[in-house]
Structure 1
Amino acid sequence: MTRMPRRSVALAAAVAVLATACSAGGGAPKPKQIATGYTATPQQTGAPKDGGTITVALTPGLSPNYIYPYPPAAANGTVIGRGQMWRSLYRPSGEGDQVADAELSLAEPPAFSPDRKTVTIKMKDYKWSTGTPVTADDVVFSLALLKAALKESPANWSFYTPGQFPDGVSAEATAPDTLTLKLETAYNPSYLLSMLTLLYVMPSAEWNIAETGGEHLDFKDPKNAKAIYNYLTEQSAEQSTFATNPLWQVVNGPYKLKSFDPTTGSFSLVPNENYSGPGDSRLDQVDFKAFTSAAAVLNQFKAGTLTVGTLDSSYVTQIDELKAKGYSVYGAPAPARFDALTINFANTVDNFDKVIAQPYVRQALQRLIDQNGYIASRGIYNGAGSPNYSTAGSGSPYPPAFGDTPPYPYDPAAAEKLLTGNGWKVVPNGVTTCENPGTGAGQCGAGIEKGQKISFTLASANTPAYVGARDVAFSSAAKKLGIEVKIVTKALNYMYANYGNTFAPATKNEWAMQDFGPLYLAAGYPSSNTVFNADGSFNLGSYRNAEVDKLINESTFGADEKTLSAEVTRLAEDLPVLFFPTPHTLVVVKDTLSGPQSSFNALLSYLYSPEQWYFHS
C-alpha cells in the first residue's frame, strides 16, 4: 500500500467553491453531461515518426528529490524516473486483474514448488546500458541492499512488515539467468509477485563499492551490503550530481538521465541505446516538468506546451476546450485505488481514541458521506468519480461480498439513530454529548464519560482540489449532527513526513483523521498487509482488529486467493478508514502521440512507458 508519492487551500475558499457549486445556473454543464465528456483510452493509430521530445507534467506539489531506487525514510524521497531508468523484477500492471505486466517485466513468471517455499525465476534477455546482461546476481544484489536498508531502519521501506518479505527469503543465482528463492514461510503466489514488483534491480558489477573508485565488494556479506547501501544513499543525497555521477548512468530501463534541476525537480531522460526490452524508443527525449499547482498544469495544456499529464477534476469542464486544442482526454478509477479518511485510533485529544473505538461511531460518520452527492457536485468531483466502499477499489477480481450494496450508505437519519441509540444526545448544529455513559446496551461505550463531545481535527492535504472540497462537505454534514470536525490544511509532503504513527509517533495527537488523497494497493491482488494488520509498517492510524489480522495472514500466506475477498469485506464492515468516492484519473494526451493502448491505460495508475510511444502525422 502506498500513499501516492505526491503529497494551502484556504478553508474559506473551499467553502466558497461548494457554495458556488450549489448555486450554479445558466448554461453550465450538469455533472452527468460532464462525465460523458471523456471516453475510453485512445487506440493506437498513425504511422510512427522517429524523433521528437515529449513533455510530461509531474503531479503538482511532489517534485523528485532522490535517485537511488530505495530512499531511506529520513530522506522523505520521491525518486526520479524509477520505472524508466531502473525496472523492478516484475513490472507492475496497470490492469485490475493482473499483478504484473508480463511483457514489460525483466523475468518470466515465477515457478513455485508444491509447498510454495521454493521459487524459480528465469531472467529475460535484458541488458544494462553498459551492454552486459541483467543477471540473476543483480537481483541477489538488489535484495541484499534492501535487507541492509531494513536492518538500519524498518521504516526504510514502507512495504515492510517485520518477519515478512524480505525476511526469511534467501536468494541464489543458480545460473546467470536463473534465480532461486528459498522461503522460510510460504506466501500466496500473487502476494509474493506483488512484492517482487517492488524489487528494483540494480547493477551488481558497478554499484558493489563503498567509496568512489573503491574496490568491488562481496555484497553477500551483510557488512559489505551495509557499506554499499550507505555509500549509494550518500551519493543520492547530492542532487547537483544526479546527471553527472557515473553510478546513475548504469541503467536497465529504456532511459538514462540527461539533466535534473534541483531547484524545481524537473528532469529530462534520453534513450538507453542498449535497452533490449519491448518498445522502439523512437522519441529523442522525455522531459518531466514539475508544477506547484493544478492550475499551472491546466494553463500549460491550454498553451499546448505539454504532451502528457493528468487533469485535476476541478477542471473537468475544460475537457471540450482541451479537445479543441488537439488533446485526447480519458479517465477512470485507477485499479486498486481507494480514497479515504485515515483514522488515528491512538489520538487522545478530546478523548478521541475512546470515541472512535466504538464501531457505531464509525458507522455513523460513514453514513454522513454522500458519495453520489460528492460525485455530482461541481465543487467536489464534478462528475468525475465512482462510488467505492472497500479497500479493493473499482473493478477488483476480489470484490467485497456485499457487491454494490454498501454496508453503510449515506443516511444522516440512520447516523443520528446510531448515536441516540447508543446514549448520545444529538444537538443539530450544536454540541452532541454522551448522555448515558457505560458499556451496556444503549450506552456510549468504554471510556466515554457523561458530557463527552465528539470533536476532532482533520488534516486535509492542500492538493488536489477535490480533497479540501470533500473534507469541507464532510465537516458540514457532521456539524448538522452536533459533531465538530476541525479542518487543518497541510502541505502534502508535510503530511507524508509527519502523519503516521508507525514512523512519526510523536505527532500522533496532531491529527485525528487525515485526507491525503489516494491510497494504492497492488493491482491484481489488493492485500492490506502492512496497512491494516496490527504490526503493519504502514498502519498509519494504529488500527487493530484480531479478526482482520487473521484474514490478512490468510490472504498473505495461504494458497487460496479467495480469502482476499473475505479480508476486503471485513475491512469494509469494520471501517479502519472512512470511504470516499474514488476520483477518476483524468489523463490528457496530445492527439499526435500514440502507442499501444495498454501503455496509455497504465497512465491511470501513473505507470509511464514512453519507450512505446511515438509521434505521428
Structure 2
Amino acid sequence: MSPCKLFGFDFWVENFNNPVLGPVFRQLYFRQALQHLVDETQWIKSFLHGLAVPTYSPVPTGVANPFADSLSKTGIYGFSVAQAKQLLVSHGWKVVPNGVSTCIRPGMASNECGAGVSAGTALTIPLLFASGTTSLAQEMQAYKSVAAQVGIQINLSEAPFSKVIASKAPSSGPTCTWGMANWGGGWSYGPDYSPTGGELFSSGVRVGFSKVVPETVTLIDNTHTAPPSESQAALDAYQNFMIKEAPVVYQPYPPYQLSEIASNLKGVDQSPYGNLTPEYWYYTKS
C-alpha cells in the first residue's frame, strides 16, 4: 500500500452569517477555542492509522515544498480543553460542562462576549458533515465529546458530499441557519499550484467563505504582486496571519487514496496534484 498525498490542507467552515451564531464565530477568541478542541495528533493515531498530517494553515505540509514556514508545521493552538475553557470564561461565558454554555457578559470589552453576541446566547452549534467516511464520522463524534466538556453542544448530522458543499454557499438573512459544515476533503492546490489562498479567502471568489477579512485580502494580494526576492516573505506573512486568525477549523489531512502498485509496474508517479500519467507506465518481467 502506498499513500497518495495531495498538495492541500483540510478544514471545516463556520457560518459567519448565521443570525445567532455568526457574531460568536466572528470572535477570534471563540475560533481559537474551537481550534483548541481539535486533537489532531490523537485523531491521526486513532482514526487515520498514522497516515494523515496535521493542518495548521492553508499552506500544505504533507508534501515537501518550499512554501510552508516553521509556524505552518507546528501551529499555535494545540489541543487543550483547559485553554478553550479559559478563553470562554475570560470573555463572559458561563461554562457548563456537559451542558450548554451561555453568554452572561454581553458587550465589546476585552472580558465580554463580543460585538453582536446577546446575553443568553447559547453555544448549541449544528455541524453537518459528509457521510460515507468512517474516519470522518469518528473525528466528528470525538469533537462533539470534547466540545461538551466546555459546554459547547455540537449537534451532528450527516449528508452526501454534494449536500454538504451546497449547504455552505454564501447567503445571509434569517434563513441562513446552518452552523458548521465539513465535507471531509479540504482543498487541494491544482491547477492553482501556488498556495496563496486567493480562491478561498479573498473577496469576490466563487468558492470563498462568508467571512472576508480586509487584512487577509491585502496579504493575499501581496503574495501575487511581490517581486521574486520578496515572494516568500509575503507568503510567510499571509500564512502566519491565517494561523493566528483561524478563519476555519483546521483538521488532519489524510491521503487521497491508498494505492496498490504491482512490483513490476514501473514509471508510476503519484502526483500531489492528483494527475494520472499512464503513458509513462510500463511493466518489467517478474
TM-score above 0.5: yes
Q: Work out the CA distance in 1 between the residues paired with 2:12 and 2:69.
A: 19
* Deviations 1:28-51 (CA, angstroms, capped at 9, x unpaired): xxxxxxxxxxxxxxxxxxxxxxxx
1:361 matched to 2:30? The reply is yes
Deviation at 1:590, TM superposition (A): 3.7
Conserved? CA contact 2:81–2:149, under 8 Å: no
The structure number with the bigger radius of gyration is 1
Could you say which residue in structure 1 is the equivalent of 2:10? Answer: 339
1:554 matched to 2:226? The reply is no
Q: Work out the CA distance in 2 between the residues paired with 1:383 and 1:493.
A: 28
1:612 matched to 2:284? The reply is no
Runs of 4+ in 1 over 4 A off after TM superposition: 504-508
* Deviations 1:120-168 (CA, angstroms, capped at 9, x unpaired): xxxxxxxxxxxxxxxxxxxxxxxxxxxxxxxxxxxxxxxxxxxxxxxxx
Q: Work out the CA distance in 2 between the residues paired with 1:568 and 1:417.
A: 26
1:428 matched to 2:100? The reply is no
Conserved? CA contact 2:203–2:212, under 8 Å: yes
Gap regions ≥5 residues in structure 1: 1-328
Distance 1:505 1:410, change over 3 A: same
Conserved? CA contact 1:478–1:485, under 8 Å: yes
1:382 matched to 2:33? The reply is no
* Deviations 1:211-270 (CA, angstroms, capped at 9, x unpaired): xxxxxxxxxxxxxxxxxxxxxxxxxxxxxxxxxxxxxxxxxxxxxxxxxxxxxxxxxxxx
1:481 matched to 2:150? The reply is yes
1:441 matched to 2:110? The reply is yes
1:463 matched to 2:135? The reply is no
The aligned amino acid for 1:480 is Q
Could you say which residue in structure 1 is the equivalent of 2:205? Answer: 536
Secondary structure of the structure 1 residue equivalent to 2:71: coil
Q: Work out the CA distance in 1 between the residues paired with 2:127 and 2:32.
A: 17
Deviation at 1:383, TM superposition (A): 1.9
RMSD (CA atoms): 2.1
Q: Work out the CA distance in 2 between the residues paired with 1:346 and 1:593.
A: 54
Conserved? CA contact 2:196–2:220, under 8 Å: yes
1:583 matched to 2:251? The reply is no
* Deviations 1:336-389 (CA, angstroms, capped at 9, x unpaired): x111111221122xx110111100000001000001110111xx2122212220
Distance 1:472 1:566, change over 3 A: same
The 5 Å alignment of 1:236-255 reads none
The aligned amino acid for 1:346 is N
Q: 2:266 aligns with which of 595, 609, 615?
A: 595
Could you say which residue in structure 2 is the equivalent of 1:330? Answer: 2
Distance 1:468 1:506, change over 3 A: farther
Distance 1:374 1:561, change over 3 A: same
Q: Work out the CA distance in 1 between the residues paired with 2:236 and 2:200.
A: 16
Deviation at 1:593, TM superposition (A): 5.2
Q: Work out the CA distance in 2 between the residues paired with 1:441 and 1:512.
A: 25
Secondary structure of the structure 2 residue equivalent to 1:611: helix
The number of residues matched between the two structures is 278
The aligned amino acid for 1:334 is L
Q: Work out the CA distance in 1 between the residues paired with 2:174 and 2:205.
A: 18
1:393 matched to 2:60? The reply is yes
Deviation at 1:613, TM superposition (A): 1.2
Conserved? CA contact 1:331–1:585, under 8 Å: yes
Could you say which residue in structure 1 is the equivalent of 2:167? Answer: 499
1:568 matched to 2:239? The reply is yes
The aligned amino acid for 2:277 is S
Distance 1:463 1:451, change over 3 A: same
Could you say which residue in structure 2 is the equivalent of 1:241? Answer: none
Distance 1:333 1:507, change over 3 A: farther
Q: Work out the CA distance in 2 between the residues paired with 1:376 and 1:355.
A: 31
Distance 1:506 1:614, change over 3 A: farther
The aligned amino acid for 2:246 is L
Identical-residue share of aligned pairs (%)? 26
Q: Work out the CA distance in 1 between the residues paired with 2:276 and 2:151.
A: 46
Q: Work out the CA distance in 2 between the residues paired with 1:339 and 1:417.
A: 26
The 5 Å alignment of 1:125-204 reads none
Secondary structure of the structure 2 residue equivalent to 1:373: helix
The 5 Å alignment of 1:19-30 reads none
* Deviations 1:290-316 (CA, angstroms, capped at 9, x unpaired): xxxxxxxxxxxxxxxxxxxxxxxxxxx
* Greater relative contact order, per chain length (Cα 8 Å cut-off, separation 6+): 2
Q: Work out the CA distance in 1 between the residues paired with 2:174 and 2:206.
A: 16
Q: Work out the CA distance in 2 between the residues paired with 1:385 and 1:587.
A: 12
